Structure 1
Amino acid sequence: MHAPDPHYRKVVEAGFREAAFLSELGITLVECGPGWCESSLRIQPRHLQHTGVIHAGVQATIADHTAGGAAMTVTGPEDFILTTEFKIHLLRAGTGDALLCRAQVLKPGKAFHVVESEVFALSDDKKTLISKLSATMAVLPRSR
């Protein structure tokens, strides 16, 4: 996939670093490249819901923001990304020591990008797919 902004990595890094909610949760950028992005989160008790599994809101947040990071890698320097809609499938109860999320741009466009994220729970040497997100990301001019 083509990255129209040669400085996309700095843009994605800033998007993770400057998002206060991500900092509060502990979500960090792992790596990115044209059309994809990965992030991670070390699970703490605050990330769990009352039954002891990883909260759906935590899964949705890491999946959405990582999808946005992937979308930014194929967005020009004069534009930014804003999620317009997403659907998340919670495939199984999430338990483990950490989350790893990988997002991939399925279809870049001038006005919208379609992106998919997969969220994996990591426990010892086991990697389990726990949720999958499909999103539409609007491409908007920075001057707004």
Structure 2
Amino acid sequence: MHALDPNYRKVVKDAFNEAAFLSAVGITFVDCGPGWCESSLRIEPRHLQHTGVIHAGVQATIADHTAGGAAMTVTAEEDFILTSEFKIHLLRAGTGDALLCRAQVLKPGKAFHVVEAEVFALAGERKTLISKLSATMAVLPRNRK
């Protein structure tokens, strides 16, 4: 993959730091490169559903935003990313101390990027894939009128 914006890393990092909802949830930027992005979340009781497993909404949020971050790494400076659609597969009940999400652009395009994100639950040395998201990200001009 090729980065179209030389400042892509700052753009992606700022997108995590300036998103009030992510801050409220506790999701943080880990790293990115052309075509990929990683984020993490330390699990707290507020992230669990009534059965004690990690809430699907938390998994969808980290996967969606990290997929958007990956898409931004291959987006031109004058454009931005907006999720057009996604589907998430909740593969198993998530338990653990933290989440790690890694998203990868499968197919960049002029109007849309296709991205996948995997969400892993971390418990000690154990890393378990708990969900996988497939998304279409729209590429839109920043100065829309």
Deviations 1:90-144 (A, max 9, x none): 0000000000000000000000000000000000000000000000000000011
Match of 1:44 in 2: 44
For residue 80 of structure 1, report the CA deviation from its aligned partner.
0.1
Distance, in Å, in 2 between the alignment partners of 1:102 and 1:13 is 14
Match of 2:9 in 1: 9
Match of 2:143 in 1: 143
Mind listing any 5+ residue stretches in structure 1 that lack a counterpart? none
Distance, in Å, in 2 between the alignment partners of 1:109 and 1:63 is 20
SS where residue 109 of structure 2 aligns?
A: coil
Distance, in Å, in 2 between the alignment partners of 1:29 and 1:135 is 19
Distance, in Å, in 2 between the alignment partners of 1:137 and 1:4 is 16
- Note the 1:1-144 alignment, pairs <5 A: 1-144=1-144
2:26 aligned partner, one-letter code: G
Distance, in Å, in 1 between the alignment partners of 2:125 and 2:13 is 28
For residue 35 of structure 1, report the CA deviation from its aligned partner.
0.1
- CA-based RMSD of the aligned residues comes to 0.2
| TM-score using structure 1 length | 1.00
Deviations 1:11-56 (A, max 9, x none): 0011000000000011000000000000000000000000000000
1:17 aligned partner, one-letter code: N
Distance, in Å, in 2 between the alignment partners of 1:122 and 1:42 is 9
Query: Could you list the runs of 4 or more consecutive aligned residues of structure 1 that deviate by over 4 angstroms after TM superposition?
Result: none
Q: How many residues align?
A: 144
Distance, in Å, in 1 between the alignment partners of 2:142 and 2:85 is 20
What fraction of aligned residue pairs are identical, expressed as a percent?
Answer: 86
For residue 70 of structure 1, report the CA deviation from its aligned partner.
0.1
| TM-score using structure 2 length | 0.99
